[in-house]
Amino acid sequence: MSTAAAHSFLEADAQVIVVGAGPAGAATAYHLATAGVDVLLLEKGAFPRDKICGDGLTPRAVKQLLAMGIDLDQPGWQRNKGLRIVGAGHRIELPWPELSDFPSFGMARARMELDELLARHAQKAGARLQEQTAVTGPIVDERTGRVVGVTARATDERGRKVGPELSYRAPLVVACDGVSARLAMALGLARREDRPMAVACRAYYRTPMHDDPWMESWLELWDGKPGESNKLPGYGWIFPLGDGTANVGLGILNSSSFFQQMDYKESMRTWLGQLDPGLGFTDDNLVAPIRSAALPMGFNRKPHYTRGTLLVGDSGGMVNPFNGEGIDYALEAGHIAAEVIVQALARPEGPARERVLHGYQTALDEAYGGYFTLGRWFAKLVGSPAFMKYATTYGLPRKHLMRFTLKLMANLTDARGGDAHDRIINALAKAVPDA
């Protein structure tokens, strides 16, 4: 859009526009609204709407939900004790660690419900939620090169764009538009090919396992025939939801040689066909079709602030390469972004405000940079069948080692003090560079 069009408004439509009302957008909007910022939250769909996800929430995510005042004792939440890991003939149960920085329990809730709950929570806090509004691009001031708003079109009940293109203006825009990252792409922020990417598929099954108190992770998948050659690529999960169903999924990293040719849906059916039939993981018990989505990992799109636009969540590749978890980092980054924005808006437009806004990238690098670098190295190793065979065969029987591994992979340590495991993991994250 031209400079003239960008300045056709008599005043801004909001102080901040947040694009996308998933966990990243809802958290950002909530924290901005509670700080008194006039925030417009634009969502292309209409709630309730689905998102492809594992639906599991680690204690990192639970901490953020509690900080937002979400009542986790209300119906619809499934609490879990920790992670059950299955592989190499072993089945071990690892409770979430007892820490001062994080709660000792996780949760699960389908994204169909979770996203609406968080968006409505932000709305109650004062955010102006506008559904069925698909953002089509940024409005860039030709004189300064800054983003000063977004263009958008209304969508119908099937998600199709209808009607004329509209414009919304604000001095700051937060892109929480998911893996598509359309705003970031429009600003020339391409995905880094040297960062890991995964594809995951998931489905919901009716199962008597729905109220199991453990989230379950399968490190080895088999097609039921004898022989090492009949091992399936990827990893699997079963996350009970407490409502009669479980979220069941399968993922694979692009570091695997099978990444390009894998039939995800067929592999998942083959794996589930080897499980106890009494669990009900058959097509007859499918609640919805098997669907797949990409997982952008390890800060695969940077910088996270540029020209009046902040990236939060999947749009900035904020998925943990160790375990594929993205909701916790979306919630945390939304909180960080809101704090930075509140401080920035207290400064006059110009260099003083920009210095504060550039601090968003610094804060993210300090919080996750080294840890995500470790995760990227780990993702390369996981793609090796030889490494995975060795790790599952010799690692899983050693509970002390596995408790350390759980802390590492879930990024659950006390920042100060803690036990020897915490100190080792924290030292490793600080020692490696963020690239």
Confidence of residue 262 (pLDDT cuts 50, 70, 90): confident
Chain centre distance of CA 151: 25
Size of the chain, expressed as the number of residues it contains: 435
Question: In the block, which residue shows the tokens 């879990």?
Answer: 80
Chain centre distance of CA 225: 35
Q: Strand runs (DSSP E) across 254-387, as ranges?
A: 291-296, 305-306, 309-311
Question: What residue ranges do the domains of the chain occupy?
Answer: 3-78+108-194+296-377
Q: What is the CATH code of the structural domain delimited by 3-78+108-194+296-377?
A: 3.50.50.60
Note whether 178 and 313 are within 8 A (CB): yes
pLDDT at 404 over 50: yes
pLDDT at 394 over 90: no
Output the pLDDT for position 259: 83
Share of the chain above pLDDT 90, in %: 81
Taking only the tens place, the pLDDT of each residue in 93-118 is: 999 999 999 999 999 999 999 999 99
pLDDT at 40 over 50: yes
416: its two tokens? 């100060």
Taking only the tens place, the pLDDT of each residue in 285-311 is: 999 889 999 999 999 999 999 999 999
What sign results for the dihedral spanned by CA atoms 373, 378, 379, 380? positive
Output the pLDDT for position 258: 82
Output the pLDDT for position 230: 61
319: its two tokens? 């998925």
Confidence of residue 176 (pLDDT cuts 50, 70, 90): very high
pLDDT at 243 over 90: yes
For residue 48, cis peptide bond before it (omega within 30 degrees of 0):
yes
DSSP-assigned letters across all residues of 31-45: HHHHTT--EEEE-SS
pLDDT at 410 over 60: yes
Residue 360 identity (one-letter amino acid): Y
Output the pLDDT for position 257: 81
For residue 164, cis peptide bond before it (omega within 30 degrees of 0):
no
CA distances from 66 to 103, 115, 242, 346 (A): 10, 15, 20, 27
Residue 182 identity (one-letter amino acid): R
Mean confidence (pLDDT) of the chain? 92
Output the pLDDT for position 52: 93
Question: In the block, which residue shows the tokens 């990992």?
Answer: 297
CA distances from 88 to 99, 219, 397 (A): 30, 8, 9
Stronger pLDDT, 90 or 7, i.e. the higher one: 90
Stronger pLDDT, 8 or 195, i.e. the higher one: 195
Note whether 327 and 23 are within 8 A (CB): yes
Output the pLDDT for position 264: 84
Alpha helix segments (H runs only) across 68-199: 111-125, 182-186
Stronger pLDDT, 263 or 76, i.e. the higher one: 76
Crossing angle of the two packed helices 399-410 and 420-431, in degrees rounded to 10: 40
Q: Lowest mean pLDDT: which of 65-79, 116-130, 384-398? A: 384-398
59: left (phi over 0), alpha (psi -120 to 50) or beta: alpha
Note whether 4 and 14 are within 8 A (CB): no
CA distances from 312 to 32, 58, 175, 194, 381 (A): 14, 19, 6, 20, 27
pTM: 0.94
Report DSSP state, residue 297. B
